[in-house]
Structure 1
Amino acid sequence: MEQQPQTQPAVRPETHYIQGDLVLFRDVERFWLGLPAHTFVGRVERSWTNVQSGKLLYDLTELSGNHARAGIDPDYMRLLPATDAMHDIDTAPLSEPDTGAMTPAAVAWLRQHLAQDSTALPARR
């Protein structure tokens, strides 16, 4: 008798989000129906447990329109780390004479900084 290979079920990592976390989330019904506008950026407002399923769910505020979204399944959420959001500023070529080589976020940061104190640039690292 031939022995069948042993398989193990896939284990999904369990992530817990806290109030104020910025996340990318997907409206799963819109996604599977092939409808546009199914992925959003949101801020976690609270978490709660569904009494029927026992599943931990989240209430979010959709940042693009300040809409409340209730009962979001964390399987369809991903944390948006600050390091990713700030990468373009952290790696901006500040020594470049052409500001076109900088990303718009880096230019915006420089303009804001210079507007606060036009006498000094940030210290070089």
Structure 2
Amino acid sequence: MTQPQTQATRPTVTYTQGDIVLVRDAERFWLGKNGHTFVGRVERSWPHADTRKVLYDLTELSGNRTRAGIDPDYMRLLPPADAMHDIDTAPLSEPDTGALTPAAVAWLRQHLAQDTAALPAQR
């Protein structure tokens, strides 16, 4: 007896200019080729002339390369909260900076350097 197939449904997402997304090149993925997934920034959206499906033009962040006509079915939004999670949850009360991720340390160094420049000179 065959089992009925279930299909996962995902909500329709509309991406806006500047959104950071994870993109999978489906053809490269299914052929087992490298470089099938990348992070991009949405530059614009436009309707396909024949199908009227909305497609996206992106800038690939790792190589600053433009990718045109990306199908949103193969895109996922990378929320800022996820990107900043390590900084938001960094154990700042611990003296061991090794417990912080490199991104959190870099962010803290950058902001501490900016803040100390604004402090008045010590007497």
Residue in 1 that maps onto 2:110: 112
Match of 1:36 among 10, 34, 37: 34
The CA distance in 2 between the partners of 1:55 and 1:76, in whole Å, is: 13
Q: Which amino acid aligns with 1:111?
A: R
| Residue 85 to residue 8, structure 1, CA distance change in 2 (3 Å) | closer
What TM-score does the superposition give when structure 1 sets the normalisation length?
A: 0.84
Q: Which consecutive residues of structure 2, in runs of 5 or more, have no partner in the other structure?
A: 119-123
What TM-score does the superposition give when structure 2 sets the normalisation length?
A: 0.85
CA RMSD of aligned residues (A): 2.1
The CA distance in 1 between the partners of 2:35 and 2:7, in whole Å, is: 32
Residue in 2 that maps onto 1:63: 61
| Residue 7 to residue 29, structure 1, CA distance change in 2 (3 Å) | closer
Identity score, percent = 75
Residue in 1 that maps onto 2:121: none
Match of 2:79 among 78, 81, 97: 81
Q: Please say if 1:14 is aligned against 2:12.
A: yes
Cα shift readout 1:12-70 (whole Å, capped 9, x = no counterpart): 42111001100000111110110011000000011011111221100000000000000
Q: Which consecutive residues of structure 1, in runs of 5 or more, have no partner in the other structure?
A: 1-5, 121-125
Residue in 2 that maps onto 1:3: none
